[in-house]
Each structure stands twice: as C-alpha cells, then as structure tokens.
Amino acid sequence: MSAPKNLLVELFVEELPPKVLKKLGDAFAEEIWLRLADHSLVDTARTVKYGETLKAFASPRRLAVWVKEVSSQAPDRPGRQKLMPVSVGLDTNGQPTAALVKKLVALGADASAVGQLAREGDGRNETLFLESVVAGAKLADRLQKALEEALNKLPIPKVMSYQLGDGRSTVKFVRPAHGLIALHGADVVPVSVLGLQAGRTTQGHRFEAANATLEIRDADSYEAQMENEGAVIPSFDKRRAVVAGKLSEAAAKVGGGVNPVVDDALLDEVAALVERPNVLVGQFDAAFLEVPQECLILTMKANQKYFPLLDANGRLTNKFLIVSNISPSDPSAVTGGNERVVRPRLADAKFFYDQDRKKRLEDRVLGLAKVVYHGKLGSQGERVGRVQAIARAIGEQLGGTELARLADHAALLAKADLLTDMVGEFPELQGTMGRYYALHDGEDPLVAEAIEDHYKPRFAGDALPRSNVGIVVALADKLETLVGLFGIGEKPTGDKDPFALRRHALGVVRMLTERDLPLEFPLLLRDAARAFAMDLRVEALGELEDFIYERLSNALREGANGSPQAIEAVLKLRPARLGDVAKRLTAVNYFAVLAEAPTLAAANKRVGNILKKSAATPAAEVNSTLLREPAERALAESLAKVGPQAKAAYERGDYTGSLQALAVLKAPVDAFFDQVMVNVDDPVLRANRLALLRKLHAAMNRVADLSALSA
C-alpha cells in the first residue's frame, strides 16, 4: 500500500453570502475530515490541529480543505457476518444445506468456506458466523460520499436552484458552482459533485490574477499558488488578519492619532467580501459631522462596510477607510467612487436628524398608542404607562420624590424615539437618538441620559446605566417586560427565547447586585404586577421568581464566585436583597474552610430533617427547667451566648462574623447528638428538645442554608 499523501479539495463557486462564509468554510472542512476518519483514511489517533493536520479555506468564491496524510486505501480489517442457526445451515451429517450455500455465494464465498465457519451458542441456539477479511475503503469511493454529505450538511441560510450546462439538469446549492479540484498529492481523485468532474484547475482573482486559470500542481502547493499566481488569500483567518493589519497601517499614515472603528462582525464580513484586501482612505464633507456620530458611524458600517476613523478623543473625523478588492496604481478612481456613494447616505442621515428635531419627543408619545406592543398586552402607549408606574414606585424606594419624578418623566419619553425617522431607518439607534433629541428639547440631562441607558445592559459585559434615574427606568422597563410576558404564559422554553427574557432577567440581576441596591426583589415583582390593568396568570410571579434566581445562580457559577455547594447554600434562602448575595457568598466561602464547618453543616442537615419529619410540634420557647441532660443544657447555654452575637453581626451586615461565631457550637452540638434522645416518649420533654433544635436551626441559617455544604 502506498504511503499517505496530503489531500486538497476545492469547490469554486460564485460569490458566497459573506455573513456565513467562515461558518461554511469550517463546516465543509470538518465534515470532509470526519467522513474520511469514519473509514480510517486518516489517522484518527492523531489529534486534529487546525493549521497543521487540517486547514479550512474560504474566500468569496471558494470553499476548500487541506488534510494531512490521507491514505489511498484504508487498511483491511477483520469482518464477521452472522449467517443462520446451525440447525438451518447444516444437515444431520454436518454438510452445508442449500440455504447456507446460497448465503455464502451471496457474500462472495462458496461451500469450501464451511470448514472456516465459526459457531457460537449452545444447542438449539447455536449460530454460524462467517469470518473474513474486509478490504479497506478506497479514497475515491469515500471522498465521493464525503463530498456529497459535506455539501448536504452545510449550514446554508438559503438554497438556490440553477441549471447545469447541459440545459436539462437542475441542482441546488447556496450559489452556482463552476469548478472542482480533488488532489491526492499530485494525483487527481476521480470524484464529481454538482455536475462537476474533479480536476486540478481553478480561477484566481477576477482582475489581478497572473492568468485567467491556475493549474494546481499538488495539494501542498495550493495556498502558495493561489496567493502568488492567483492573487487570492484563500485562508479566511489569514485574510482577516491582513485586513486588520492594513487598517492599522492606513490609520497610522493618516496621522493625528486616529483609530478605525473596528468590530468583529464588520471585520468578518469585510474579510468575506474581498480576496486580496487593499485599504484606501476616503473622506466626506466635514459639515456632516454636525449629525450625531453614532448615526454616521452606523450608516458607514452597515450600508457601505467602511471603517470610520475616530480622533484621539474618540470623536468622529471626516475620514474613513475603504477595504477594496483591487489595488490599482492610481487609487483615486476607487476612493472617488466610494466618496460619491457615501455622500447620499450621510445626506439621508442628516435629513432624518434635521426632520426629527422639528417635533419634540413629548409630542410623539401619543403616537405610541397606535403602535402594537403585543396582542395580549396592548400598545406601546399602554406599556409606557406601566413602565412609568413601576419607575415611580422604584424611584420612591430608592431616592424619594425627586428621583421618582425624574424617572417617571424619563419613562414617559423612553420609547418616543421609536417614531422618529432616524430610528425607523436604524433601529439600532433607539435610545441613543432619544438622548440627542431630549437634549435638543431642553430636557434634564439626567432624563436624556436615562432614555439612552434604559436599554442597558444590552448584552453580557455591557455597561450598566450611568445614573440612578437610568437604573430606575431600566429596572422598570425590564420588569414590565418580564412580568407581562410571564403573566400571559410567554416563557422561554429550551433554547427558544424570542423575547430575550433571559437577557432581561440577567440585566435585572446585574443592576440589583452590582449596584447593591437596597431593594427587595419579591416586592419589585409585586409592584410591577400592580401596574397591569389586567389579570395575569396566578402562578406567573412564582415562576418568574424561580427564573430570576436561576439566572443569578448561573451567573455566580460562571463567575467562579464559589463552589456550587456554597452558591446553593446562599440561594436556598432566596435572599430578598440580591445585593446581599455576594457578601453572603463570601461569608459562606470563609466558613466552609473552617475545621468546624463539616460537622456543623452535617448537624444542620440532621436538625432540618428531624424538624421536618417530627410529628410533634416544638414548644413555643425553650423551658430551661425541662433541660434534663447535661449535653442539652450545655447546648442551650452555648446557644444563649453565641446566638445573640451571631444575630448582632448579621443585622449589621457582617455575615462572615455571624457565621464564624457559630464555630464554637461544634462541641456542644456533637455532644447533644451523642448523648440526647430527641424523640423521647414524654411529649413535653420532646416538644422542648424540638424547640431547642428549632432555635439552633434558626441561628445557623440566617446567612445561608448550611445543610447544602454537607457532603
């Protein structure tokens, strides 16, 4: 068998959808490798290393994969075929029956193989097996199947149908395909797909390739030939890095400390639009800078795929970077063309901005009554009224009358920019434009800021609202959404969350915890529910409370804030003030490393079980005259001394001190359980001992449910 050779497969197509190009390239490469591995054509014992043993290539007009050391034929392997019961395959003389001969012939053997048949089982259950050597899979056969399966499994957003050159056949793919390469070393593998026969020729850059077609010498020369002869950088990651590097170089040449506005999504998309990137500098009329820079930046990025340039202070300049697919000796025609194209886009933004400012935000509020929010929850106007009511209630609790007044007014205006032309064109600017228009209308800067900030945090890691006014309106907005949608049964299920309720819930958690707000979460839910002039599902608030605490638990686990047991210990008590959770968790983490912790946690669990299972009712108070045993008297005395200390520390917020004070209870608790029978026959004595345990349980579970720490 010949030595393994490296394999290259390329599918040459018309321009692929840029937003999914990288995903398509990775999926194509991985699926080819997996299918080859299934048939032992690659060494599955070797770890796959991207860039070393497997390379994915994806450019606007091609998907390709390079696989290291692929065998032309897999090793032979032993085979075992179940045939039939011995009673059916052999006659009384041990000779093969006609049925067995027919089966053997069908499998490529004959009667002479009878002596080589294996038997398994006993008596009437004995079965015949044919043992053989199965020839290893051939690359040409398996690659054909791998190609077909890889194309069928590509994450294609939308398939198109097109006719082949014969004028009769129609195939379906993401874009029409025009070429196929399959090289095993330097040898063409005879496979076909989408009406194409594999060869070794492809096309390079539309305008800058040295020749119209390229003949790839072998699998290993593909990338270098494409770059040197085809003027194409086939590797998506390499091309993306080139774009990023050239953006930085171009910005440095502009000077003045400018930096391009770069985000991953735009960088990915631009890398998917060009085959050999070239970065040029364009500029627009500085008069457009009167428009809020967020509008100009968004229109340049979203519509034109340009990279705006910011000065050292973060202000937009009138220069921008263009990533071109050609590198002409005189770039003026390219830059001039792009400057002409961007001008009407910026002019539209200026027109929207000028028109929007002719009408005050407050005058737009009535129009929200005509905008549907949800079929069961009414209009955006009705929703605004609910958010105002919730904001007033939170504002009063958090800062009194003035904060409630500002929050109420900010909530009134918060959704008004949805009816502006600018937000109609660019929904991403909702809130941002509201702030600009509110300032133009002469509103309080805190109100204007809250209009923008009430959407925060929009995503994981996003900043929280900057002021208390913004915090109040953001909480009110998110609570209205959560309570309303849970109230009508629109809960997230599995991976489906069409209203982003998990994100809203995490936003509420972050604001309450990171700002350590003196607000009780269950009361917030009830205040929010009162804002609805409709009947909500009875169980909705309970479900929502569970949902919020689950989000908090997940956030704590992801943030490595403590062991799962410590987190469970704190959250089992459902602390009303979520801002306390971090302090409680810190206290539990300190307590958990004390030598006394395991014993006290186990005792706490035991006490809880006794109280839960006991049919008797504990006495209202512990009667010291009924404490007969020395161990129960010792526990009562220790608890009388330690209990007030732990309670005082708890009440002043010293949760660590409260738990540490309990450590001295280890010895009396151990002695109590060793020497005292709780469920004695005397009902009065039993009730008194249960009262003592209830008192102990209450003292031990103020900060957290310590039983969760018990193994």
Helices (H), 272-420: 293-304, 332-356, 361-364, 380-413
Confidence label for 98 from pLDDT (cuts 50, 70 and 90): confident
> What pLDDT is stored for residue 45 in this prediction?
58
Both tokens of 465, joined, read 């609202």
Q: What is the pLDDT of residue 135?
A: 67
pLDDT at residue 113, rounded to an integer: 72
pLDDT category of residue 1 using cuts at 50, 70 and 90:
low
Q: Which of 544-548, 629-633, 642-646 has the highest mean pLDDT?
A: 544-548
In this prediction, residue 96 carries a pLDDT of 85
- As a CATH number, domain 582-709 is 1.10.730
Neighbours of 580 (CB within 10 A): 18
Strand 278-283 versus strand 316-324 pairing type? antiparallel
Q: Are 626 and 685 in contact (CB under 8 A)?
A: yes
Task: Match 């591995």 to its residue by tokens.
Answer: 37
* Average pLDDT estimate for 460-472: 95
10-14-17 Cα angle (round to 5):
95
Pairing type for strands 192-193 and 213-215 reads unpaired
Q: Among 48-52, 165-169, 313-317, 364-368, where is mean pLDDT lowest?
A: 48-52
Calculate the CA 148 to chain-centre distance. Answer: 30
**Most confident residue range from 330-344, 598-612, 681-695:** 330-344
Domain spans of the chain? Answer: 5-74+139-228, 77-134, 237-356, 366-560, 582-709
Looking at residue 140, what is its pLDDT?
A: 87
Condensed to tens digits (0 to 9), the pLDDT of residues 188-210 reads 999 999 999 999 999 999 999 98
Confidence of residue 711 (pLDDT cuts 50, 70, 90): low
Q: DSSP alpha helices (H): ranges in 208-360? A: 222-228, 236-254, 264-271, 293-304, 332-356
Identify the residue with better confidence: 583 or 112. Answer: 583
Asked if residue 259 has pLDDT above 60, the reply is yes
Mean pLDDT is highest, among 73-82, 126-135, 161-170, 358-367, for 358-367
- Please classify residue 432 by burial: count the beta carbons closer than 10 Å to its beta carbon, then call 0-12 exposed, 13-18 middle and 19+ buried: buried
Rounded average pLDDT over 672-687 = 86
pLDDT the model gives residue 78: 73
Q: Give, in order, the Cα–Cα distances in Å from 166 to each of 163, 169, 199, 201, 203.
A: 8, 7, 19, 21, 22
Helix (H, G, I), strand (E, B) or coil at 14: coil
Residue 51: per-residue pLDDT: 65
Which one is predicted more confidently, 50 or 275? 275
Give the whole-angstrom CA distance, residue 16 versus residue 60: 5
Q: Which residues of 502-516 are buried (b: 16+ CB within 10 A; e: fewer)?
A: ebbbbbbbbbbbebe
pLDDT at 613 over 70: yes
CATH number at 366-560: 1.10.3210
Residue 488: the pLDDT is: 95
Could you give the CA distance from residue 55 to residue 65 in angstroms, rounded to a whole number? 6
Nearest Cα neighbor of 34 from 180, 142, 187, 137 is 142
Which residues does residue 180 pair with via DSSP β-bridges, in sequence order?
11
Query: Does the pLDDT at position 241 exceed 70?
Result: yes
pLDDT at 441 > cutoff 80: yes
**Amino acid symbol at 500:** A
**Token output for 457:** 């945090």
Q: Answer yes or no: is pLDDT of 535 > 60.
A: yes
Phi-psi region for residue 117, left (φ > 0), alpha (ψ -120 to 50) or beta? beta
pLDDT, greater one: 193 or 604:
193
Q: How far does the chain reach from its first CA to its final CA, in angstroms?
A: 58
pLDDT of amino acid 186: 95
In degrees rounded to 5, what are phi and psi of residue 605? Answer: -65, -40
Q: How far is 372 from 377, CA to CA, in rounded Å?
A: 9
- The answer to whether 112 and 100 have CB atoms below 8 angstroms apart is no
Per-residue confidence band for 154, with pLDDT thresholds at 50, 70 and 90: very high
Task: Say if residue 72's pLDDT is above 80.
Answer: yes
Percent of the chain with pLDDT over 70: 97
Q: Which pLDDT score is estimated for 562?
A: 75
| Cα distance between residue 343 and residue 285, in whole Å | 8
pLDDT score at 63: 97
d(CA 134, CA 40): 13
What 3-state DSSP class applies to 428? helix
Answer yes or no: are the C-beta atoms of 441 and 361 closer than 8 Å.
yes
**Crossing angle (nearest 10°) for helices 445-453 and 432-440:** 160
Distance CA 296, CA 289 (A): 8
Distance CA 458, CA 453 (A): 9
Confidence (pTM) = 0.82
Would you give the distance in Å from CA 173 to the centre of its chain?
29
Asked whether the beta carbons of 438 and 430 are under 8 A apart, the reply is no
Residue 265 burial (10 A CB sphere; 0-12, 13-18, 19+): exposed
> Where is pLDDT greater, at 348 or 85?
348
47 pLDDT exceeds 60?
no
pLDDT of residue 313: 93
Q: What's the pLDDT score for residue 50? A: 65
pLDDT band at 495 (very low <50, low <70, confident <90, very high): confident
